[in-house]
Amino acid sequence: MFHTRSALLLGCGYVAKATAPLLAAQEFQVTGTTRSPEKAAELDAAGLHPLVNPDVRALKDAMAAASHILVSAPPGETGDPFLELFDHRTSLPNLDWLGYLSTTGIYGDARGEWVDEFTPPNPADERSRRRLVAEQDWCALSDKTRIFRLAGIYGPGRSALERVRDGSARRIIKPGQVFSRIHVDDIATALMASISRPDVAGPFNLADDLPAPQADVVAFAAELLRVEPPPLEDFETAEMSAMLRSFYAVSRRVSSETTRKRLGWTPTYPTYRDGLRAIYAASI
């Protein structure tokens, strides 16, 4: 039976905000949750219906009404902030698709080698372990759940260009260390590709074609801006937070080849160079 296509964004962060206009363009009625009245005004101005600090009943009603649900909130120490409110008897009568944004961190340390959609998860830290549990729990909630494992996200307002400009960029060198990345707009188009093929199961890896050391990305951003890059720092002696050091504790190259074939999706920005060039061009 036909029902109105309504999208519920559980968490209106960077990726959800990039995806919302694409949903609206396909005539979805889009609702987004937020804790902030200020952000609610932003959502309203963007044509989304804001759901501010909803209680359990309001969340359950919104989920039951939605045909499409995108979950972008990370799990905390007590688990997923939305899933912990529900049990497996929760009814989602209108659901056609549920997307959960996870992380390629669930693959753990591959010592710089490639991982793909068939690589068994092997999370190396507590954050990634929580993500893996959340993946499993959302899949248990519905067979319409689709898992998206995201590489390092960048895009307008959140790229090496901004960090070079404000002086916070660093070029930390650890031999053999590489990261995979994905432009936020490419995440959004991949999600829409999945919505158009709801019967294609994941998990899906979202990553570009050029894993690289962060120092290379910063150097390229500086080149675009025509400024000197920040100095090189040795990982072993550089001062950094425990969080930042934990990112350098693992190294992997993420393949999204199977995802592209399954979804018929091609990134607009196949390398960080393409993405940074576009961000730079839009800023001048």
Whether the predicted pLDDT of 84 surpasses 60: yes
Residue 147: predicted pLDDT: 98
pLDDT band for position 1 (50/70/90)? very low
48 confidence band (pLDDT: 50, 70, 90): confident
Residue 4 confidence (pLDDT): 67
Q: What is the mean pLDDT of residues 271-276?
A: 98
User: Which of 3-7, 52-56, 90-94, 181-185 ranks highest by mean pLDDT?
Assistant: 181-185
pLDDT for residue 246: 86
Of 231 and 52, the structure prediction assigns the larger pLDDT to: 231
Q: Is the pLDDT of residue 3 over 90?
A: no
Q: What is the arithmetic mean of pLDDT over 126-132?
A: 94
Spatial separation of the C-alpha atoms in residues 284 and 279, rounded to whole Å: 9
pLDDT band at 101 (very low <50, low <70, confident <90, very high): very high
Element (H, E) at 103: strand 97-103
- Whether the bond between 203 and the residue before it is cis, its omega within 30 degrees of 0, is yes
Reading the block at residue 188, the tokens are 């959004």
- Average of per-residue pLDDT across 198-211: 96
Q: Residue 259 phi/psi, 5° resolution?
A: -60, -45
What are the chain's domains? 6-109+116-153+183-207+255-268 (3.40.50.720)
Predicted confidence band of residue 135 (pLDDT cuts 50, 70, 90): very high
pLDDT grade, residue 247 (50/70/90)?
A: confident
Which amino acid is present at 38? E
Phi, then psi, of 147 in degrees rounded to 5: -100, 130
Mean pLDDT (whole number) for 149-162: 98
Q: Return d(Cα 266, Cα 194) in angstroms, integer.
A: 12
Q: What is the pLDDT of residue 8?
A: 96
For the residues 167-175, what does the mean pLDDT come to?
A: 95
* Amino acid letter, 200: V
20: tokens are 């919302």
Amino acid identity of residue 102, one-letter, is: S
**DSSP codes joined into one string, 237-250:** T----HHHHHHTT-
Q: Give percent of the chain above pLDDT 70.
A: 97
CB 220 within 8 A of CB 280: no
Phi, psi of 224 (to 5 degrees): -60, -40
pLDDT beyond 80 at 191: yes
Residue 150 CA to residue 163 CA, distance in Å, equals 21
Confidence at residue 2, expressed as pLDDT on a 0 to 100 scale: 45
94 or 39, higher pLDDT: 94
- Mean pLDDT score of the chain, rounded to an integer? 92
Ramachandran angles phi, psi of 20, nearest 5° = -55, -45
State mean pLDDT over 8-19: 92
Query: Strands 181-183 and 152-154: what pairing?
Result: parallel
The strand pair at 29-34 and 49-52 is best described as: parallel
CA atoms within 13 A on the CB side of 226: 0
Q: How confident is the model at residue 114 (pLDDT cuts 50, 70, 90)?
A: very high
Comparing 39 with 139, the larger pLDDT belongs to 139
pLDDT for 204:
98
- Looking at per-residue pLDDT, the higher value among 243 and 169 belongs to 169
204-213 as b/e, with b when 16 or more CB fall inside 10 Å? Answer: bbbbbebbbb
